[in-house]
A and B are shown apart, each in its own frame.
Chain A
Amino acid sequence: MLNKIQNLNYLLIFLVILISFIGAAGLYSAAGGSYNPWASRHLIRLVLFIFLAVILALLNIKYIYQFAYVFFILSLLLLLSVELIGVFGKGATRWINLFGFSIQPSELIKITIILALARFYHDLKFDEIKRIKNLFFPILILFLPFALVVVQPDLGTALSIAMLGILVLFASGIRIWKFVLGFFVLILSIPLSLNYLQPYQKDRIFSFLNPEADALGRGYQLIQSKIALGSGGLTGKGFLEGSQSYLQYLPEKQTDFIFTLIGEEFGFIGTIFIILLFFLLISVCFYVSIKSNHIFGRILSIGVGSNLFIYVIMNISMVSGLMPVVGIPLPLVSYGGSAMLAIIISLGLVLNAELNANLKKLHNA
């Protein structure tokens, strides 16, 4: 036990804390120089979740392996119940109240998808991967949550689930042509699933897909976001000195658009610094993957790293105008409990995988 604590990857923990602190500084500034309402809660969550992650890291990896499918099914049920509440309750929602906490199951399911796929490919003989029938199960694991998220409708998260699936399947070694085929199936499933949607859900999706139609809403948001980033220049306007964000140009400055606030106040140096920190964090995950002597650890670590990668690239592309505005937060920086919980817990799993990198046998525990 003590040995395990000593061998924890402290670089990873340090990176998580550093990035979260930068996030807290941004939130402090977004609130006009106040810990309330965001920065203080952000920091409290950080402490709480890191504690959870370390406990998770110290668990026997066999249990995580054994319960991988159970976790997936539980989170799928949570996601389904959100859907049912949406249908029978007061309209579309992404949140569910669990033990007094408001949780967004679509954030959690990304982690359990990684777990389920990691276990599936761990159990599969390498020779069997080529078989078509063995493609059925992983695609089901991806498609069910994807479809549920699409009908919410939360296209940003759905897209990130699809991309996560593509990256994990690619990493697990399936044949390239199958990979390409699977990719097309996922793309094709979008218009297919649209047929089953209510008109208002379709409207939402189309307005997501075509933000220019709403030029004064989201289109305007994007222009302001670029102005905030650009006016920061090389060194930024200084902490608490950003004008764009204070002036309420950005309605979601504390969540999806926090990066622009940091870009305005700390400039190019600040944004590149954050990007480098994320690059390092993701590299640690890749390093743990390579280091792992079992497929479960490999797929798990590379999955978590890819998930982080998708979050970061989508968020920054979104606020810098490289892709349309879809609601994706910047991990550890944006305000929001569910995403932060999912990210830190998944990194806890990576910590665990590293501690158990040399383990040979996982089942028959």
Chain B
Amino acid sequence: MFYSDDKKQYSVLNRRTFFLYLLKVSFFGIVGWRLYDIQIKNSEKYKTLSKNNQIDVEIIYPLRGKIYDINNKILASNTKVFDVYIIPENTKNINKSLNELNQIIKIDFSDRRKIIELSKKVKKFEKIKVLENINWSELEKIESNKFNIEGIFISQDYMRIYQYNNTVSHLIGYTNKPNREEVELPFIANMPNLEIGKDGIEKSFNPNLIGKSGQREIEVNSYGRVIREISRQDSQKGNDIYITIDLRIQKYALNLLKEHKAGSAVLMDINNGNILCMASTPSYNPNKIIQKPNKEYWDSILENELSPLTYRCIQGLYAPGSTFKMVVAIAGIVHGVIDTNTKHFCSGKIGLGDRLYHCWKNNGHGLMNVSDAIKESCDVYFYEISKKIGIDKIAEVAEDFGLGKIYDVPLPNQKKGIIPSRDWKKKKYDESWYPGETLISAIGQGFVLTNPLQLAVMTSIIASNGKNVRPNIIKKNNDFEFEKLEKYQNAIKIIKSSMFKAVNESKGTAYNSRSESTPFAGKTGTSQVRRITVAERESEDFRKKDVEWKKRDHALFVGYMPVENPRYAVSVVIEHGGSGASTAAPIAKEIFQFIKKLET
């Protein structure tokens, strides 16, 4: 059954195998010739094709989300602008092109140098921005000369715009190119030219506002011209943000503040903690920061010694002065040191150790109970009771009322302030507490420092009968209740009636600012910015208007409205305003009246 010795078959098979081998040689020859043809003979042709055919990935930048106020008014959005670019490869002489362009629109000399330097670094067909946000007449001029200037083209872009200039600038912030560290942020990822929020809401909500980048793969030839689009993934617009600010109140408050050099006004809705107004002066215009060239404006801001970039509502720290007395009184009542009948005699000063502690009223208030002491802001009464309460208990109550805290709201760079205690001083200065410091603290001076937002929160907690109100800046749809601090109920009742008297009864410190149409309650505060010398005190003119502005006292007022079932709490601080009663209280009154008008 085995045929392997069949000679004839093997010779046939050998012939066939040889033939197949020839076939193989010839086919390999064909393929080899083909490769020679492509890789050697026509190599030059394919090499240029290879260079000409470049695939570029172009990032499609997302449109930044808008920012709205509580009534859906646009506070920040994007506007179409025109930018001028140059493509180095499209011009024989980049210097010449820039010169020609310069005759139409002035290009900064240093900018020109940068462009020329950049053109040496980037790919020849990469576009370089020459001018940003040109106006219509400039656009027209360039358009009509476009063909005379080599390498120039105009591209439409988007720029951030703030509709109300400096009205909400501190709160919203502004956008700008990321710095070296910010480029590493995960949400920037592949978008190095993205403008990102640098301050305020723009900064806190960068991840939400930015959106998602898209990209398109494009095939470009050596001139940078797009031959075809290979794939496209559109960018996703950033989310819009709705904040709790009521633009009408914000504008109104800002105008009131503008009568003074520097100050702030914070208005909160105590039911939900919504911040309706948070104005700070002096302020700045974010549009002028965004629009280049901005160097002049930027320098003017930095040189301004009132520091317009500071958001006083959360970054300004002030001794709360007499507005702190509510906290001390509540501490006294809660810890049983005083009740409504406890009286102290004010002769204008008390002594402790070898020092004298003065009341603001040099000849004294006479016999005072707690209600009168708040109404007339008697310092001696609080010196007396603070000695018995002690600084630690005062500090504890102050913190319960929201002072000395940074709130969990998306506002960057809040300043915490100081609520002093024995422990605090030990840690900070490695020194023990002196009894005299308790007295100074009891009238909101000395170490005590608060920011205006904290004072508004404190007032909200009092006005809401002890609800643990926390500020809120992002509009929420669901209603919620703050938890109630039960232990302060009784004390708050006494304090609230005293605050009512301070505004609405004669001898009350804010009696001159009372409003028939819009009754409100509150407390003035006047905080010293320097120590008053004995000589000045005796000369009796240390409160006169003609004291140098920088040496004048800060004026404060905190208050709430309406008196029954309060809804709004306010804090007003006027830097070097003289006294709370004369400058801060009237502003609070105007704001309350304005709200009342809005409501009707």
Residues of A within 8 A of B (CB): 125-126, 167, 170-173, 224, 226-234, 243-244, 247-249, 263, 267-268, 271-272, 275, 278-279, 282-283, 286, 289-290, 293-295, 298, 302, 306, 309, 312-313, 316-317, 320-322, 360-364
Instruction: Tell me which residues across on chain B come within 8 A of A272, comparing CB atoms.
Output: 32, 35
With contact pairs A171-B17, A243-B50, A295-B4 given, residues A229 and B9 touching in the complex (Cβ less than 8 Å): no
Residues of B within 8 A of A170 (CB): 16, 19-20
A268 and B46 form a contact (CB under 8 A): no
Beta-carbon contact of B40 and A233 below 8 Å: yes
Q: Is B148 an interface residue (CB 8 A)?
A: no
| B564: Cβ under 8 A from any A Cβ | no
A247 pairs with B54, CB closer than 8 A: yes
Q: Closest residue to B25 on the A side, CB-wise?
A: A279
Within the complex, the shortest CB–CB distance from B130 to chain A, in Å, comes to: 29
Chain A residues, Cβ within 8 Å of B106 = none
> Cβ of A289: which chain B residues have Cβ within 8 Å of it?
17
Select one of B16, B17, B28, B43 contacting A230, CB under 8 A. Answer: B43
User: Can you name the residue of chain A whose Cβ is closest to the Cβ of B31?
Assistant: A316
With A289-B17, A320-B31, A322-B30 known to touch, is A227 a contact of B39 (CB < 8 Å)? no
A233–B39 CB distance below 8 A: yes
**Complex: A153 Cα to B388 Cα, angstroms:** 96
Q: Which residues of B contact A173 (CB under 8 A)?
A: 9, 12-13, 16
Known A-B contacts A234-B39, A247-B54; the reply to A171 vs B20 at CB < 8 A is yes
How long is the Cα–Cα vector from A199 to B42 in the complex, in angstroms? 41
Report if B38 contacts A (CB, 8 A). yes
Q: Which residues of chain A have C-beta atoms less than 8 A from B24's C-beta? A: 279, 282, 286, 309
A81 → B minimal CB distance (Å)? 34
Are the C-beta atoms of B9 and A231 separated by less than 8 Å? no
Residues of B within 8 A of A263 (CB): 35, 39
Assess the B35–A362 pair: CB atoms within 8 A. no
| Docked complex: B1-39 residues within 8 A CB-CB of A | 1-4, 6, 8-9, 12-14, 16-17, 19-21, 24, 27-28, 30-32, 34-36, 38-39
Closest to B49 in A: A227
Contact of B20 among A167, A226, A248 (CB under 8 A): A167
Q: Are B38 and A320 in contact (CB under 8 A)?
A: yes
CB atoms of A293 and B4 under 8 A apart: yes
Does A275 lie within 8 Å of B38, measured CB to CB? no
User: Can you pick out 7 interface pairs between chain A and chain B where the beta carbons lie within 8 Å of each other?
Assistant: A229-B35, A231-B50, A234-B39, A248-B217, A294-B4, A313-B28, A361-B2
Asked if A363 meets B35 with Cβ closer than 8 Å, knowing A126-B6, A279-B28, the reply is no
A230 engages B39 (CB within 8 Å): yes
Nearest-Cβ distance from residue B76 to partner chain A, whole angstroms: 39
Q: Which residues of A contact B27 (CB under 8 A)?
A: 309, 313
For A294, list chain B residues within 8 Å (CB).
Answer: 2, 4
A residues near B54, Cβ cutoff 8 Å: 243, 247
B13 touches A268 (CB 8 A): no
Contact B34 A322 (CB under 8 A): yes
Q: How far is the CA of A296 from the CA of B395 in the complex (A)?
A: 101
Nearest chain-A residue to B56 (Cβ)? Answer: A247
A276 to chain B, nearest CB (A): 9
What's the Cα separation between A72 and B585 when bound, in Å? 101
User: Smallest distance from the beta carbon of B232 to chain A beta carbons, Å?
Assistant: 14
A284: min CB distance to chain B, Å = 12
B39 touches A247 (CB 8 A): no
Given A170-B16, A173-B12, A309-B27, A229:B1 Cβ within 8 A: no
* B32 pairs with A231, CB closer than 8 A: no
- Report A-chain residues with C-beta under 8 Å of the C-beta of B8: 126
- Most A CB contacts (10 A, CB to CB) among B1, B14, B38, B46 go to B38
Within the complex, the shortest CB–CB distance from A307 to chain B, in Å, comes to 12
CA–CA, A271 and B34, complex, Å: 11
Q: Which residues of A contact B50 (CB under 8 A)?
A: 227-228, 230-231, 243-244
CB-CB under 8 A from B39, the residues of chain A are 229-230, 232-234, 263, 267-268, 271
Excluding A170-B19, A271-B39, A302-B17, 8 further A-B contacts by CB distance (< 8 Å) are A126-B12, A227-B46, A233-B47, A249-B55, A263-B35, A295-B9, A313-B27, A321-B34
- State whether A230 and B30 are in contact (beta carbons under 8 Å apart), knowing that A126-B3, A244-B50, A360-B2 are contacts in the complex: no
B597 at the A/B interface (Cβ < 8 Å)? no
- Is B45 an interface position by the 8 A CB rule? yes
Q: When the two chains form the complex, which single residue of B9, B14, B31, B40 contacts A317, counting CB atoms closer than 8 Å?
A: B31
The 8 Å CB contact of A171, one of B16, B28, B34, is B16
- Please give the distance in Å from B221's CB to the nearest CB on chain A: 13
Cβ contact within 8 Å between A233 and B43: yes
Q: Hey, which chain A residues are within 8 Å of B53, CB to CB?
A: 224, 227, 244, 249
Chain B residues with CB under 8 Å of A232's CB are 39, 43
Measured CB to CB, the closest approach of chain A to B219, in angstroms, equals 9
Q: Please indicate the chain A residues that have their CB under 8 angstroms from the CB of B45 in the complex.
A: 230
**A296 CB, min distance to chain B CBs, angstroms:** 9
Q: Taking the nearest CB of chain A, how far is it from the CB of B282, in angstroms? A: 54
Measured between beta carbons, the chain A residues less than 8 angstroms from B2 are 294, 360-363
Instruction: Please tell me if the beta carbons of B3 and A125 are within 8 angstroms of each other in the complex.
Output: yes
From residue B595, how far is it (CB to closest CB) to chain A in Å? 61
Residues of A with C-beta under 8 A to B31: 275, 312-313, 316-317, 320, 322
B21: A residues at CB distance < 8 A: 283, 286
Q: Would you give the shortest CB distance from A47 to chain B, in whole angstroms?
A: 29
B247-293 contacts to A (CB < 8 Å): none
| Complex: chain A residue closest to B52, CB-CB | A227
Query: What 1/0 mask marks residues of chain B from 102 to 128 whose CB sits below 8 Å from any chain A CB?
Result: 000000000000000000000000000
Tell me if B13 and A171 are in contact (CB < 8 A). yes
Chain B nearest Cβ from A358, distance in angstroms: 11
Residues in A with CB closer than 8 Å to B55 are: 247-249
Q: Are the C-beta atoms of B40 and A268 separated by less than 8 Å?
A: yes
A49 CB to closest chain B CB (Å) equals: 24
* A230 and B38 contacting across the interface, CB-CB below 8 Å: yes
Q: Mark B155-170, 1 if CB is under 8 A from A, else 0.
A: 0000000000000000
What residues of B have a CB within 8 angstroms of the CB of A126 in the complex? Answer: 3, 6, 8-9, 12
| Residue of A173, A272, A279, A362 ringed by the most chain B CB atoms within 10 A | A173
Q: Which residue on chain B has the smallest CB distance to residue A316? A: B31
From known contacts A126-B9, A234-B40, infer whether A320 and B35 are also in contact, taking CB-CB under 8 Å. yes
Would you give the shortest CB distance from B179 to chain A, in whole angstroms?
Answer: 31
Complex CA gap A272/B4 in Å reads: 39
A293 to B3, CA, bound (A): 10
Closest to A309 in B: B24
Contacts of B20 in A (CB 8 A): 167, 170-171, 286, 302, 306
Closest 4 CB pairs of A and B: A230-B46, A231-B50, A126-B9, A268-B39
Minimum CB–CB distance from A322 to chain B (whole Å) comes to 6
* Cα–Cα distance between A233 and B9 once the two chains are bound (Å): 48
Q: Whole-angstrom distance between the alpha carbons of A244 and B55 in the complex?
A: 9
Q: How far is the CB of B56 from chain A (nearest CB, A)?
A: 9
Chain A proximity mask over B379-390: 1 for CB below 8 Å, otherwise 0: 000000000000
Contacts of A243 in B (CB 8 A): 50, 54
Are B34 and A320 interface neighbours, CB within 8 A? Answer: yes
Closest A residue to B228 using CB positions: A216
Q: Name the B residues within 8 Å of A233 (CB-CB).
A: 39-40, 43, 47
Interface contact A295-B3, CB-CB below 8 Å: yes
Q: Verify B4–A230 contact, CB threshold 8 A.
A: no
Residue among B12, B14, B46, B217 making CB contact with A226, cutoff 8 Å: B46
Establish whether residues A234 and B4, one from each chain, have CB atoms under 8 Å apart when the complex forms: no
Bound-state Cα–Cα, A263 to B50, Å? 13
How far apart are the CA atoms of A316 and B36 in the complex, in Å? 13
Q: Which residues of A contact B28 (CB under 8 A)?
A: 275, 278-279, 313
B4 touches A268 (CB 8 A): no
Q: Are A231 and B47 touching (Cβ within 8 A)?
A: yes
Q: Which chain A residue shows the least CB distance to B2?
A: A361
Q: How far is the CA of A64 from the CA of B28 in the complex (A)?
A: 31
**Complex alpha-carbon distance, A188 and B350, angstroms:** 121
Residue contact A234 to B43, C-beta cutoff 8 Å: yes
Cα-based distance from A125 to B5 in the complex (angstroms): 11
Q: Which residue of B lies closest to A298 (CB)?
A: B13
